[in-house]
Chain A
Amino acid sequence: MTVVADVLPIDDALAQYDPVMGLEVHVELNTKSKMFCGCPTEFGAEPNTQTCPVCLGLPGALPVVNAVGVESAIKIGLALNCEIAEWCRFARKNYFYPDMPKNFQTSQYDEPIAFNGWTDVVVDGETYRIEIERAHMEEDTGKSLHVGGATGRIHGASHSLVDYNRAGIPLIEIVTKTIEVPGEKAAAVARALVSQLRDLLLSIGVSDVRMDQGSLRCDANVSLKPKGSTTLGTRTETKNVNSFRSVERAITYEITRQAAILSSGGKILQETRHWHEDTGITTSGREKSDADDYRYFPEPDLVPIAPSREWVESLRATLPEAPSLRRARLQTEWGFTDLEMRDVINGGAVEYIVRTVELGVDAAAAKKWWLGELARAANESGKDLGDLGVGPAEVAEVQKLVDEGALNDKLARQVFDGLVKGEGTPAEIMAARGLALVSDDSALIEAIDRAIAANPDVVEKVNSGKPAAAGALIGAVMKDMRGQADAAKVRELLNTKLGI
């Protein structure tokens, strides 16, 4: 059942109300083993093949903390300029849900490992400081498959099938303080924040941050207050907004939806809402009630974590530079103009270009592909750049083929198209689509001969001392070869033929 709420046009909404946001971001760490047991964390394994008594919550089993999980949490805290607790504990968050094996989540409550941080994000050249409330450690749940309903959704299903492979995978929950920025920037700032978090997490190496695999998940809190007012409105929490685009869209949608209700005298319900990627709306989930009593208490099966200052400092020393400094350095290294750099940041392509350049690709070429062909493909499919199935390695491979003369830019674009469509490796796509440049001289010479024969007037001009006219012949040869020839090579052969 989906009820489409009335919305106010965004401009009207922002004319009357100021949005107040908060983000909760869950990051799955890329540790080898789970947070409290030695099971692997591989994505996509056969169901229930990565479980043990601990992560299945079998009677008698006990958790033991993964040291790298703690280390990653500290690194994230430091990267977000947080204080790192001298002493903290895990706590049990008690609630019943079938995909949660123990019916409590081992998490942290009033003693998070990291707190009081900040990070700066840049939108349209403007810097916004986002305050970080906390970053804490917890564990993921299993995954349910809803069976018997029309769409695999929870409603109308006859039963569910649960796979606990994901249960117990380490999560870090990053919680912002309230974010108040000019209304027209709000959604873009939220998007930029998530994008920056992704970059940060990638650069410190604690997560693969595959949003398509759910390793970065966002919940967005939104409330509105009438312009000029200081009293906060009732907020909603929109769950599972799992791409940069969706963050922006979902927040915009909530602003317009809440504005419509408030401006017609209605009240906002404090509730969780669900984001629907396909229709671009949120729908009512569950109203907050007194049943939301999580009965937190310190996890008695675990002992406190007291990270020594030496440990914290040694981790700090491993961290890459701060995002703003890094952006400035990269711009210089890459030789981009301010405008180019802004496009790269807005396009969420910084990390991809970094890693592509690391693989030996020229920065300009890397930018050309990421902001060109790949950004276009992402836009068309409504995906984020990272979810296309094309990574820096593929980009470097294609560019190498271009550099070697096996492809030209035009053919390379077709290879990228094939990659996005999952047609295989660049070599396979070139073979299947017949995209290789013809490097066989005799084939080119035959084409040149045909061009010369077909264009006696042009040959005449060249022979009468106008070598520039040969360009028309090159065009004819390229057309004859259906673009699959290296223009430089053609020119070289043609010049020899014509004796110029």
Chain B
Amino acid sequence: MSDLTRKTAAELSELMASGETSSVEITQAHLDRITATDTAVHAFLHVDTDGALAQAADVDKRRAAGEKLGPLAGVPLALKDVLTQDGVPTTAGSRILEGWKPPYDSTVVKRLKAAGIVILGKTNMDEFAMGSSTENSAYGPTHNPWDLARIPGGSGGGSSAAISAYQAPLAIGTDTGGSIRQPAAFTGTVGVKPTYGGTSRYGLIALASSLDTPGPCARTTLDAALLHEVIAGHDPMDSTSIDQPVPPVVEAARRGDVNGLRIGVVKELGGEGYQPGVEARFHEAVELLTKLGAEVVEVSCPHFQYALPAYYLILPSEASSNLAKFDAMRFGLRVGDDGENDAEQVMRLTREAGFGAEVKRRIMLGTHALSSGYYDAYYGQAQKVRTLIARDFTRAYEQVDVLVSPATPTTAFAIGDRVNDPIAMYKNDLCTIPSNLAGNAAASFPVGLADEDGLPVGFHVMAPVMRDDLLYQVGAALESALADQWGGVLMSKAPELEVTR
């Protein structure tokens, strides 16, 4: 059964239901694949072999006992290391949390466990999700399975790399400015940022509270939808959680029909600064949607150009406060406690030693933006720009059902390329950030490879708040039409990874 790792979650589910294989077999196959490939990819920070196999055995036992199980019961998953899991190391990619084992489950993890999903381990990420390449992880970068010399995107590079390396069929990411969608685009996989408040943040180590959104990563649209349905829904532990039914995402993914759907191409998200191969694949996909019966128009969102500056005020401001708790007093790293240094000095020394350069940069920026005399000009104004961006969306949605753009201006770049140029790095997220600021749902779907470098290109779909189902409708339509063209999903074009023993 060596091909178990090539199956989709939906296929694995059927194989288990029909008794052809077990969760333990599937889990073991993926653990083996991790062992064989992760030296090269470095998608995982922690592999919970015993925990995963125990969970799998439990699902198998319950299935054998005739218990009615959810559609994803027994399917393995890779969890971004920013979500707490009781008793399992959780670092958020930071030295300051090395060895910390949270005493509680995040809501996402609670729901995964309740659905019988097997958690293989914790995936690599930019430290505290600050970054677009996973190079900011304190534990070393993750490599893109399509080209190991390149970054897999970020911050959730580990999760996307894991699914594109067939180490897991499913993964959880979190998206603050594109951290699910951009890595999905760079790895030829599907990544969905649900509506803000559609998935619970309880147990998500906060980067920017008003932007952070957990969401599903998978190799197919249907798998992403199945996972979306498991983790979404109201959570009384998160005050910003939306108390409404989960949009019908699975049904939309199964239907995959765009006939009559009105699609708006965002004028401002393209042109200068966009790689030709990215634009070419994007426009072909738009054409394909037209052929499938969608009505396509161009739409202007004039304030999107201010999304990046607004984002780099709001995020650092909230982050500077959210990260204050990492102070060496109650958990995590402590440096300089020699009996001589006082608490304040130990805090300073620990934070100096425990945080990486990008984290410090953003804490400093946020501290500046919130300090007296600057608040109104910076944070206050950025919140107003948010209103303008949300209004751009509202106006656009009066004309169209969804908006589309490339997911990223370029394909995956080389490791080390942009580490010393923060602004170039920030510009990766030009297309994805507006949806975080406005809180609406958005996703990236693979639409082919750029001619110039043979690397995956992501197609970005943005849907109104709580219309996450529309994303899946578009994604599934594209996926099946492209599979017809290619004779399979894009992932089947990925180069084989060298397997180590």
Residues of A within 8 A of B (CB): 53, 56-65, 92, 94, 96, 98, 101-104, 158-160, 162, 164, 293, 295-297, 300-303
Contacts and interface: CB of A to CB of B under 8 A. Distances in A.
Residue among B100, B208, B343 having the largest count of chain A Cβ atoms under 10 Å = B343
A387 B317 CA distance: 45
A98 B329 contact: yes
B239 A302 contact: yes
A225 B320 CA distance: 41
A64 B239 contact: yes
B201 interface: yes
B324 A103 contact: yes
A62 B202 contact: yes
Nearest to A148: B339
B265 interface: no
Nearest to B379: A297
A457 B399 CA distance: 119
B344 interface: yes
A58 B204 CA distance: 11
A94 B324 CA distance: 8
Given A53-B104, A295-B367, A60 B206 contact: yes
Interface of B: 83-84, 90, 92, 97, 100, 102-104, 106, 201-206, 208-210, 236-240, 317-318, 320-321, 324-327, 329-331, 339, 343-344, 347, 367, 370-372, 375, 379
Nearest to A158: B339
Interface majority SS on A: helix, strand, loop or mixed?
A: loop
B201 A58 contact: no
Contacts of A296: 370, 375
A60 B102 contact: yes
Given A53-B104, A59-B326, 8 more contacts: A58-B102, A59-B102, A59-B325, A60-B204, A60-B205, A61-B203, A297-B317, A297-B321
A96 B327 contact: yes
Contacts of B104: 53, 58, 60-61
A295 B106 CA distance: 29
Nearest to B344: A96
Contact of B201 (A62, A92, A96): A62
B206 A162 contact: no
A98 B343 contact: yes
A141 B397 CA distance: 46
Contacts of A56: 330
A303 B209 CA distance: 12
A293 B370 CA distance: 9
B370 A101 contact: no
Contact of B370 (A59, A64, A94): A94
A293 B366 CA distance: 13
B202 A96 contact: no
B190 to A, nearest CB: 26
Nearest to A302: B239
A427 B197 CA distance: 60
A283 B210 CA distance: 43
Given A60-B106, A162-B329, A94 B83 contact: no
A162 B327 CA distance: 14
Given A104-B324, A300-B318, A59 B92 contact: yes
